Amino acid sequence: MEFTARVIADYLKGELEGNPDVKVNAFTKIEEGKPGTLTFLANPKYEKYLYETEADIVIVNKSQPVTGRVKSTLIKVDDAYGAFATLLELYHASVPEKTGREEPAYVASSALLGEGVFVGVFSCIAEHARIGNQVKIHRQVYIGENVKIGDRTVLYPGVKVYRDCVIGCDCILHSGAVVGADGFGFAPQSGADFKKIPQIGNVVIEDRVEIGANTCIDRATIGSTILRRGVKLDNLIQVGHNVEIGENTVIASQSGISGSSKIGPNCMIAGQVGIAGHIVIAEGTKIGAQSGLNSSVKEPNRAIMGTPAFDYTGYMKSSVIIRKLPELTKRIDELEKKTAVNNG
């Protein structure tokens, strides 16, 4: 598909500077821009590429100063990143959606499928599953007994949803995600043996949740593991049994949340964060990368980092001191030698 700068500017309600008739048919990063493509500049540290890019159209913030010669046509908007995202959504919506059922695929006779559902080849929908309207079940997806999936949810190839789990509307589950596997429950026995504790609960995922590739969400021992409305999980995340994640919380890759912990709404958790079991994290908490939490965060809207995690500002000050430790150690050694000589 091909669009002119004028059409794009009108759609975004932006200010146009340059050739309104230039046409683009693809997106690109600003540092890799080439003729026929559209890009954007939102981060000022990439400003130099505004004057170097070969992209025909660049979306920029209205506040962005232009201090050199620009070869591209500019579309000025209030939020360049948001405007670019809007165009990507428009492009994505233009891709034809699949419907119907590919063969071979297994759909149990007791399963109920809504209107406009797509079922990909080698997928399995087990007994008494309930699938909403416009759901996309791509190839090699497994949906277990009594699973409920809301309207317009997308399950990409290789997703596995175990029995009794519930997924809301407008969710996205990426390839390899596993919902409802057993939680890590084992009771120590005499000697070195462990007895497996049956995990008889389920997972409940509310509306507009996105789950990254190869992320695992364990079923509850009793009750439900719950992801509230608007939660976004990156790839390769482990969510333990009976965890609850609050609305609109986002968690980056390789983080792990131990069983029965409760994370409040609107939290931001960076990559490789480890959260111990049975703790509570207050609303709006921000946790820096590679942090470890072994106690609750009771005060809302704190920024913390480190292992064990503490106030972000204090952590950064400590980091400066740690970097100076070799120099401080050397100075202490020299002072000890001088003291020994003087006392001798």
Catalytic machinery residues: 241
User: Cis peptide before 104, with omega less than 30 degrees from 0?
Assistant: yes
β pairing state of 130-131 and 112-113: parallel
Give the tokens for residue 214: 């190869």
* DSSP line for 252-317: -TT-EE-TT-EE-TT-EE-TT-EE-TT-EE-TT-EE-TT-EE-S-B-STT-EEETTTTEEHHHHHH
Closest by CA to 225, choosing from 213, 238, 214, is: 238
Contacts of 293 (CB under 8 A, 6+ apart): 273, 274, 275, 276, 279, 281, 287, 304, 308, 309
Q: Which phi and psi (to 5°) does residue 12 adopt? A: -90, -5
